[in-house]
Amino acid sequence: MGLGNGVLCYPKLNYPYQWNPHIRSSIRSSSSSSLQPPSLRYAVLGAGFAGLSVAWHLLKHSPKDARVCVDIYDELGIGGGASGVSGGLLHPYSPKAKLLWRGAECWKECQKLLNIAETIEHMRTSDLVDQDLANSSEGPLIQRRGILRPATDMKNADTLKENAQNCLGSCRIELIDKDGAQTLVPNLFVPSNSAVYMPQAVNINPKRYLQALFLACQDLVKESPRSRYEEEKVVHLHKKSITNLSELSGEYDAVIICLGAKAVMLPELSGKLPLRTCRGVVTHLQLPSDARGEYGDHSPSILSDAWLAVQGPRNVVMGSTWDWGSRNFSSSVSTEEASTALDELILKASTVYPCIRNWVFTRARAGVRAMPPLTPLGSLPLLGCVNDTISCQNVECRYWFVGGLGSRGLLYHGWLGKLTAQAVISCNEDFLPRELTSWKKLK
């Protein structure tokens, strides 16, 4: 049934298995002809992992007989924020070497989007928004080389062993000894004689992936049937900053806020989100052409106190630093900040991969993560309808929030984007796990 005048909603269903977005109960405008399909307009704020996943699922799962418009707003464009700076390591571990909450669902949905993006990039490389990415020398969009995590102490080794015994069926986890680890990565130092190897974990080039996911959104539009009235589905990217939600008043049926750490800068949400900002610097390193010790073509990337995301035999991304409370949202890194970050990261990474000291610095980039509060289930993202939070009196629009993905945005984004799209289309928050909406009750 409808929520307020002029808002298209769908019947409230039991989470999450009875969703049927093709059941229409009302049309958006009472002045529209009964022969016309309903019209839905959505605004997605942010073109990072969360925003593009939400946009894709809105286009994919919206009613087939509806005219759907999705406007994506991001002043920096596709992947211009923290998502595009990330290391792109996809695996089911938290920084403390524990399996993540609902990791299996997250892994499955993320794999679906990665496969879609990879297919699209092969078909439409010439259409990439940023041609520098199309000609990138940093290897393929997805590198299936696996990820290795050496145990740093006995407690860590016990945790890794437990996880290997209770691994996700969709991401195999193998406990290996020092010899096995050093066979995979020569010259690796394994302090506690054990490591976890995840052969199905992958590296992605995050910005190229996000560009390809946007192309996938455009392809969904092209594939949608046309009516005699107008295009059934449209998607637009607006390189524009939204500084106040009132700018969108009266324009949309729903606004989905996927701005990451910048969400705290919206006046309607300022001081109302239990998020902490954390600026992270990642460094790009290269092995000099006259130096020996290329990284193996099939050697896995490395997780440790500083991770190493391998881009090729002589290119690696190393990260990340943690500058809590930062409001510096620039991706640019000063010489001083880069030097400090490099010293910190080299010290950490060299404890497990000493050869990294032979590599030379080429550049640094930074992004600000939105870190959620710690719960008994770990650091969980924040989702939900926020009309009450922002004291919104506009019953014709529903405002939704997707944030606090922290350093796990790549793993979380596929599943959370799908659930959010279901909730938005149905005007039903019950599609979202209660663990992710309970933050509103604790404010």
Write the pLDDT tens digit of every residue in 18-29.
333 333 333 344
190 or 4: which leads in pLDDT: 190
User: CA 132, CA 197: separation in Å to the nearest integer?
Assistant: 33
Q: pLDDT at residue 2 above 70? A: no
**Average pLDDT for residues 305-316, to the nearest whole number?**
93
Determine the pLDDT at residue 36: 62
Q: Dihedral of the CA atoms 179, 182, 183, 187 (nearest 10)?
A: -140
User: CA 181, CA 191: separation in Å to the nearest integer?
Assistant: 11
- Beta-strand runs (E) in 223-297: 233-238, 254-257, 276-286
Determine the pLDDT at residue 104: 83
Of all helices (H) and strands (E), which one includes residue 418? helix 409-426
> Cis ω on the peptide bond leading into residue 313 (within 30° of 0)?
no
279 or 66: which leads in pLDDT: 279
**Average pLDDT for residues 260-282, to the nearest whole number?**
94
Q: pLDDT at residue 75 above 60? A: yes
151 or 244: which leads in pLDDT: 244
Q: pLDDT at residue 127 above 90? A: no
The residues that bridge with 148 in the sheet, in sequence order, are: 197, 302
Window from 67-71, 100-104, 255-259, 262-266 with minimum mean pLDDT? 100-104
Of all helices (H) and strands (E), which one includes residue 240? none
Confidence band, pLDDT 50/70/90 cuts, at residue 423 = very high
Confidence band, pLDDT 50/70/90 cuts, at residue 17 = very low
Confidence band, pLDDT 50/70/90 cuts, at residue 138 = low
Give the residue among 438, 382, 368 at the shortest CA–CA distance from 412.
Answer: 382
Question: In what side-by-side order are the strands of the sheet with 398-403?
Answer: 233-238, 67-73, 39-45, 254-257, 398-403, 382-385
Q: pLDDT at residue 370 above 70? A: yes
Beta-carbon count within 10 A of 144 CB: 12
The residues that bridge with 236 in the sheet, in sequence order, are: 71
> Cis ω on the peptide bond leading into residue 94 (within 30° of 0)?
no
Average pLDDT, the chain: 84
pTM metric for this prediction: 0.87
**Average pLDDT for residues 157-185, to the nearest whole number?**
77
Strand pairing category for 254-257 and 398-403? parallel
Q: Which residues contact 268 (CB under 8 A, 6 or more apart)?
A: 244, 245, 390, 391, 392
What are the tokens at 408? 């796990």
Window from 31-45, 157-171, 355-369 with minimum mean pLDDT? 157-171
**Average pLDDT for residues 271-283, to the nearest whole number?**
95
| Packing angle of the helix pair 409-426, 49-61 (nearest 10 deg) | 40
Using an 8 Å Cβ cutoff, are 258 and 46 in contact? Answer: yes
Q: pLDDT at residue 236 above 50? A: yes
Determine the pLDDT at residue 45: 98
Give the residue among 61, 64, 37, 38 at the shortest CA–CA distance from 228.
Answer: 37
